[in-house]
Structure 1
Amino acid sequence: MIYAIAHLTVTDPDLMAQYREVAGAALAKHGGKVETATGEFTTLDGNPTPPNVAALLSFPDKESALGWANDPELADVHALRRGAGSSDIMLLG
């Protein structure tokens, strides 16, 4: 199991709503899922700028995560997320 953290700052809630409708199936195509997502944060150390939403994603392995990120059939799904605001997604490992 490998994890990714997603930070999203939403500027277009309508596009984000469209993304949420298709995001789960896009993740599942590569064995991924959302473990948890929230818009509430508590700073433990430092002075970070929190996003609107953060999500912890899981995948069976690194290849599955990279497959999800680079799947040409999911380009429209990723474009919805990117169009909804800024998003940074980092694979942990």
Structure 2
Amino acid sequence: MPAYLIIEARISDPQGFAAYARATPAVVARYGGRYLVMGGSQESLEGEHAPARTVVSCWPDRAAALAFWHSPEYAALKPLRAGTGVFRVLLADGVQAQPLPESATGDSTP
């Protein structure tokens, strides 16, 4: 089942953050991750949303995401972002594609 790292970043020092931003994608790729969302335009459609940069990466599974997160390569990069902003990181499991049970579709034919 795929897993996703969802990051909200409020960058206060863009120049300081730049070295981290340049180095991290290679480590993400080495551990099997790929970016789905990285910055870009955002629009809040409901609820409060503080201005933040959103990054979403997809991983083959939770174990791959955690292997990246706890890797020595990533541990070496984390100090590059220290003091450059405030970061919230969430690891979320994806869903496996499964057909809906007949009772959920309203189809009662055998």
Q: How much has 1:88 moved relative to structure 2? A: 1.0
State whether residues 4 and 92 of structure 2, in contact with CA within 8 Å, keep that contact through their aligned partners in structure 1.
yes
Does the aligned pair in 2 maintain the 1:26–1:77 contact within 8 Å?
no
Q: What SS is found at the alignment partner of 1:73?
A: helix
- The amino acid of 1:85's aligned partner reads G
CA distance in 2, matches of 1:84, 1:71: 21
Bigger strand share: 1
Unaligned 5+ segments in structure 2 are 94-110
In structure 1, the partner of 2:62 is 62
Aligned length in residues: 92
Percent of pairs identical after alignment?
Answer: 28
Larger radius of gyration: 2
Counterpart contact for 1:10–1:85, Cα < 8 Å: yes
Partner of 2:14: 13
Distance 1:16 1:77 in 2: 11
Q: Residues 1-93 of structure 1: matches in 2 within 5 Å?
A: 1-51=2-52, 53-93=53-93
Poorly superposed stretches of 4+, deviation over 3 Å:
none
Deviation at 1:39, TM superposition (A): 4.5
Tell me which moved more, 17-26 or 75-84: 75-84
The change in CA–CA distance for 1:14 and 1:40 in structure 2 (over 3 A counts) is same
